[in-house]
Amino acid sequence: MPIPDANLSTTTTTPTAGSTTAIPTTTNAGRCPLCGAPLQNPDECSMCDWVKGYDEPETRRINPRDPTAAILSIMWPGIGHYYKGYTQLAAILAGGGLVCFVWAAAFFMFFGFLIFPVYWGWVAVDAFFRKDLKSSELAKH
């Protein structure tokens, strides 16, 4: 929840005695936290690019297909990438998974088995964070 800035204030209207019209009263709108210029609008600065919420961190919305792609890539590298629409990369990673599997079996005694979980994990993480090319196609239909 964002914390309101103490330097900002709003414009209020004050009715006058015996009159039906209201006179606008502008209070101090504060200063811009980036350039220090006086603010006419408490939500943005007219002198620089500051807007309200500038310091708030952006949150990444998780696509529901991301965990599925990661789980598929744990089963065999490249399946998650194929699921997200990267067909050529999926073929390369699947071939790399085969090489990794043969390497781990051939050099098991010399710590060759360590490449197996590292490669599998790296491919699964990459499948999770890579942009989904098929989700936009599914939304069109």
Residues 27 and 79 reside in one and the same domain: no
Q: Average per-residue pLDDT in the chain?
A: 79
Cβ burial of 44 (10 Å; 0-12, 13-18, 19+) is middle
Position 14 confidence tier, pLDDT thresholds 50, 70, 90: low
Partners of 25 in beta bridges: 12
Together in a domain, 46 and 85: no
Residue that terminates a domain, selected from 38, 59, 80: 59
Q: Which is it for the CA torsion 42, 46, 51, 54, positive or negative?
A: negative
Q: What pLDDT shows up at residue 116?
A: 81
Look at residue 108 and give its three-state secondary structure.
coil
CA distance 15 to 4: 27
- 122-131: pLDDT as tens digits: 999 999 999 9
Q: Which domain holds residue 11?
A: 1-59
| Same-domain pairing of 95 and 127 | yes
Give the confidence band of 9 by pLDDT, cuts at 50, 70, 90. Answer: very low
pLDDT score recorded for residue 79: 95
**Residue 19 has what pLDDT?**
55
| Judgement on whether residues 70 and 131 belong to the same structural domain of the protein | yes
Neighbours of 32 (CB within 10 A): 19
* Helix and strand counts by DSSP (H, E) for the chain: 5, 2
As for how many domains the chain has, the answer is: 2
Tracing tokens 């890539």 back to the chain, one arrives at 73
Do residues 7 and 54 both lie within one domain?
yes
Residue that terminates a domain, selected from 59, 74, 99: 59
Residues 76 and 132 in one domain: yes
**pLDDT tens-digit map of 81-112:** 999 999 999 999 999 999 988 888 888 777 77
